């Protein structure tokens, strides 16, 4: 059942050294230019996003929670995700998958990716991916199987880190950016384009949003049956408020129902704090 959850919410692909700059940060070859201000807001604020997954915006069938935190080792940050099914679906086929991406450096490139999939009753799968961005190698292991090593031609993101870097792209109408992603043992260049700007109702109220489409031509960890697009708040937080993925019948919709980040108040200017940033209550929508 999770074969739709990650597809719907994460593979819409798509970070902060000199984070005082408001314009695009200089990027090394193979990495798209990004806004250091937006990256600073996302990662310095220790963001939490909770999505309700439904079929065609109706029956709720799962949940996705994304959280950013400092790596326990002090080496960069972590992007932690948990995917679960909901209600009757959980009784029939329980799903509780966790994904942890370790990122570092001014562009938040991944160096470690841990996956623990618990699906069905008693079934467990572990996956580990190690990225050496300088040596241009990626090592992958599933359970106790032998390691596989892949050569890459440039820096890469994974499903999660690419999702966050997409938020910090220029995203100007008529402009296309390339996000390099390592999926299915290969380095893919995903073209990200803006379909326009739209006013949408969100948990923050009615806001101007940016409609984004990544063009993907690979399967990934989960099956993909149709195009995926998503909507970001048009501000210095770029909060993904909705993700929609076409399937054979209808669509799968990930709707933001809870959000917390002390640095960000969508629809308003990002807040800067001196010293420790205060805890703030999450913005949520009753479901």
Please write the tens of the pLDDT for every residue from 57-66.
Answer: 688 889 999 9
SS3 29: coil
Q: Looking at residue 270, what DSSP letter applies?
A: P
Cβ contact 151:136 at 8 Å: yes
Q: What are phi and psi of 198, to 5 degrees?
A: -140, 145
Burial (CB count within 10 angstroms: exposed 0-12, middle 13-18, buried 19+), residue 103:
buried
Burial (CB count within 10 angstroms: exposed 0-12, middle 13-18, buried 19+), residue 68:
buried
Burial (CB count within 10 angstroms: exposed 0-12, middle 13-18, buried 19+), residue 79:
buried
Q: Hey, where are the domains in the chain?
A: 2-257
Handedness of CA 104, 280, 82, 33 (dihedral sign): negative
Q: What are phi and psi of 92, to 5 degrees?
A: -80, -45
User: Over the stretch 44-94, which tens digit does the pLDDT of each residue have?
Assistant: 868 999 999 998 768 888 999 999 999 998 999 999 999 998 777 777 778
Cβ contact 99:117 at 8 Å: no
Bridge partner residues of 182 (DSSP): 187
Host H or E run for residue 91: helix 88-92
What does 188-241 look like in DSSP terms, one character per residue? Answer: EEEEEEEEEEEEEEETTEEEEEEEEEEE-----SS---S-EEEEEESSSS--EE
CA angle 201, 243, 171 (to 5 degrees): 85
Positions of the chain with pLDDT lower than 50, given as ranges: 1-23, 219-225, 269-281, 286-287
Give the residue among 48, 40, 45 at the shortest CA–CA distance from 17: 40
Host H or E run for residue 162: helix 159-167
Cβ contact 216:11 at 8 Å: yes
Both structure tokens of 46: 């220790």
* Alpha carbon distance 98, 104 (integer Å): 20
Cβ contact 274:283 at 8 Å: no
Q: What is the pLDDT of residue 247?
A: 72
Q: What is the pLDDT of residue 242?
A: 96
Maximum separation of any 2 CA atoms in the chain, in Å: 51
């Amino acid at each position: 059942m999770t074969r739709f959850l990650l597809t719907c919410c994460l593979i819409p692909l798509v970070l902060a050294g000199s984070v005082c700059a408001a314009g695009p940060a200089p990027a090394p070859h193979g990495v798209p230019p990004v806004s250091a201000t937006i990256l600073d807001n996302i990662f310095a604020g220790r963001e939490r996003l909770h999505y309700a997954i439904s079929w065609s915006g109706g029956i709720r069938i799962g949940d996705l929670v994304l959280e950013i935190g400092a790596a326990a080792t002090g080496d960069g940050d972590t992007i932690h995700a948990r995917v679960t099914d909901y209600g009757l679906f959980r009784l029939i086929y329980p799903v509780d998958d966790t994904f942890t991406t370790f990122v570092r450096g001014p562009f938040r490139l991944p160096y470690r990716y841990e996956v623990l999939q618990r699906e069905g009753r008693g079934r467990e799968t572990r996956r580990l991916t190690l990225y050496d961005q300088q040596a241009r190698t990626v090592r992958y292991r599933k359970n106790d199987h032998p390691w596989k090593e892949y050569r890459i031609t440039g820096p890469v993101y994974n499903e999660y880190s690419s999702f966050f870097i997409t938020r910090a792209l220029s995203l100007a109408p008529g402009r296309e950016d390339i996000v390099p992603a390592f999926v299915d043992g290969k380095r893919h260049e995903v073209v990200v384009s803006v379909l326009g700007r739209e006013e949408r109702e969100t948990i923050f109220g009615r806001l101007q949003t940016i409609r984004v489409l990544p063009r993907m031509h690979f399967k990934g960890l989960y099956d993909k049956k149709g195009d995926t697009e998503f909507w970001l708040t048009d501000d210095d937080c770029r909060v993904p408020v909705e993700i929609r993925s076409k399937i054979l019948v209808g669509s799968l919709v990930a709707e933001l129902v809870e959000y917390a980040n002390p640095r960000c108040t969508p629809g308003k200017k990002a807040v800067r704090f001196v010293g420790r940033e205060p805890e703030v209550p999450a913005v949520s929508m009753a479901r």
